[in-house]
A = this chain, B = another copy of it.
Amino acid sequence: MTSEVLARALNTNPVVVRRLMGGLREHGYVHSEKGHGGGWTLSCQLDQVTLRDIYEALDAPRLFAIGNRSEETECLVEEAVNHAMSSVLTDVKAQFLARFGQITLAALHADFHQKLAERFSGGLT
Contact = CB atoms under 8 A, between A and B. Distances in A.
* A interface bracket (residues with beta carbon within 8 Å of B): 20 to 34
Contacts of A116: 76
Interface string A49-75: 001000000000111111000000001
Contact of A111 (B62, B84, B95, B103): B84
A88 interface: yes
Nearest to A79: B115
A16 B124 CA distance: 49
Given A84-B111, A88-B100, A92-B99, A66 B61 contact: yes
A119 B76 contact: yes
B76 A112 contact: yes
A92 B96 contact: yes
A91 B99 CA distance: 10
A51 B66 CA distance: 13
Given A66-B63, A92-B95, A92-B96, A103 B115 contact: no
A101 to B, nearest CB: 10
Contacts of A83: 111
Interface in A6-53: 9, 51
